[in-house]
Amino acid sequence: SLNNALIPLAFTLTYMYCSAQFQLTKELLSPGDVVLHLLGFLIGIAGFQLVAVGYFMRTNTDITRLQGSQPDPRADQRGPERQVSRAEQRQQQRLATRWMRQERRTPKWRVVTYLVPPLRIALARSIDHYDRQLLRQVIWQNHINGSIFEVVMVLSFLALGALGDLDLFAIPTAASAFLLATMIIMLLSAFTSWFKGWTVTVIVAVVLLLDAFSLRTDRFLADNRAYGMDYGGKPAAYAIGPVTEHAFNDSATASSLRQARATLDLWAERNRPLYAEGHKPPLVIVSSSGGGLRAMLWTYRCLQLADSLVGGDLMDRTALISGSSGGLIGAAYYRQVDWLAGRTDTVDVRDRRHLDAMSEDILNPVAFSFVTNDLFLRYRRVKDGTHTYTRDRGYAFERRLNELTGDLLHQRLADLRAAEERAEMPLLVMSPTTINDGRRLLIASSPVGFLTDTRTSPFVTVDASPESVELSRFFRAQEADSLRLTSALRMGATFPYITP
């Protein structure tokens, strides 16, 4: 009706105006593109309205359908509804039960006038000539139809999660937020229509049941997993005893030190021609801070400029790359591009397309997966090698990252070990923090056990607690070497509720 359309119409017009201003002044789109986008927005609203109106027109029940005849037209001229005295209101409240008729105990909002097309004010007619039971039956039937429509809409939104891989359904993050708010309102409305005063109790019970199921069933599992590792076998015993034993392992420390020195010797031989006889080549270490997408782009651009200043051999001079979050992703991508550029003429680290890839949006598919899949039922699966994992926004993040980087980061840790040991590319060390105890989890293709041994000397007894855990050695039985590089980078770029 016209009365119910005023607020949505005002919102739609305001939204379209703000959207047009944003696209013209911030995104610098042409007026034709802006008009096309707004037209698509209006077509979407019109399509949804057609579906809703078609459904309710066919399913809703009115007085005529129930009575089988038209009401007396003279009864429509009685004017506004009669006043209800305070005594009558108190009597109705006493008759209402505490739970089943809670709506009767709320003060009534008496409607006197309403708008009719075209913007004409009409008097609200009295309903005293209708049978009260008949009115309750009509309203109850319409509430049921509305609840069914809302539940079907929520299920349709969840089904959209299966189409998240298609570019057509890559909606903006803000649209995903509106979608989430819409689903919450629809579910609350449906629950309120069905359970009345028991709504809060039912919602709390459902949340507790989902929490219980998430601990005992994989279908409702809320844990995010690193792709490539084996979660089907016996888990590693992560406790202070095993952690200390692995960190202070003399054999592993000596073995990893020998390998690191051999790699550094090869690095020195590769860099010796760059400097005069008798001078040691300077060792370059790249450490990049986090900051999301901006840090990815900034780091890659800085490495581009630094490479141009040293004559195009920055990665040959670099022995170690470390950092966190988006900055480390940008540095890892630069390392892969530079390594590939030395083996083919079709790749150039100075190509602007790499910067464009780093500046593309990653959050949209992550937010869409969060709303349509992760918050409710994670029913989709993804297979990596011989292992199957629950598909969530972590997979959406890695998939989008591989799309932007041309699958250059779509590697396993074991695939990069030989090139690092031959000093063909710098050692990449990722160090996310474990939630359990705050220790660093050292992730690298090459052995880095010497970084976990913080003892000062074998001749000095120090009761020190280990500060780091080496992934490849501690989780060897869980196939840590098969971990995807994108999963390792994601573990170093986690953010609450966004990237797991």
Reported as a pLDDT band with limits 50, 70 and 90, residue 85 is: low
Q: List residues bridging with 468 in a β-sheet.
A: 440
Q: What SS3 state is found at 32?
A: helix
Q: What is the pLDDT of residue 89?
A: 61
Please determine, for residue 356, whether its predicted confidence score (pLDDT) is greater than 80: yes
Q: What is the pLDDT of residue 87?
A: 67
Please determine, for residue 17, whether its predicted confidence score (pLDDT) is greater than 80: yes
Burial-class residue 13 by CB neighbours within 10 Å (0-12, 13-18, 19+): exposed
pLDDT digits 0-9 by tens, 186-239? 888 878 877 877 888 988 998 888 777 777 666 665 678 899 999 988 889 988
Q: What percent of the chain has pLDDT over 70?
A: 85
Mean pLDDT of the chain: 83
Q: What is the pLDDT of residue 72?
A: 54
Q: What is the pLDDT of residue 209?
A: 84
Q: What is the pLDDT of residue 448?
A: 92
pLDDT: which is higher, 275 or 355: 355
Q: What is the pLDDT of residue 35?
A: 96
Pair type for strands 440-444 and 427-430: antiparallel
Q: What is the pLDDT of residue 315?
A: 93
Least confident of 33-37, 144-148, 431-435, 437-441: 144-148
pLDDT digits 0-9 by tens, 293-337? 899 999 999 999 999 998 888 999 999 999 999 999 999 999 999
Reported as a pLDDT band with limits 50, 70 and 90, residue 92 is: low
Q: What is the pLDDT of residue 161?
A: 76
Question: What is the token pair recorded at 302?
Answer: 């800085």
Please determine, for residue 16, whether its predicted confidence score (pLDDT) is greater than 90: yes
Q: What is the pLDDT of residue 230?
A: 92
Q: What is the pLDDT of residue 297?
A: 94
Q: What is the pLDDT of residue 173?
A: 82
409 contact partners, CB below 8 Å, separation of at least 6: 329, 332, 333, 336, 401, 402, 485, 486, 489
pLDDT digits 0-9 by tens, 47-77? 988 988 888 888 776 666 655 555 555 444 4
Q: What percent of the chain has pLDDT over 90?
A: 36
Q: Amino acid identity of 281?
A: P
What sign does the dihedral 458-459-465-468 (CA atoms) show? Answer: negative
Reported as a pLDDT band with limits 50, 70 and 90, residue 98 is: very low
Q: What is the pLDDT of residue 97?
A: 45
pLDDT digits 0-9 by tens, 133-168? 777 777 777 778 887 888 888 788 777 777 777 777
Q: What is the pLDDT of residue 321?
A: 95
Question: What is the token pair recorded at 169?
Answer: 């359904």
Q: What is the pLDDT of residue 151?
A: 80
CA 145 from chain centre, in angstroms, equals 32
pLDDT: which is higher, 86 or 140: 140
Domain edges within the chain: 1-56+111-125, 143-216, 240-491
pLDDT: which is higher, 84 or 244: 244
User: Whats the size of the chain, residue-wise?
Assistant: 500
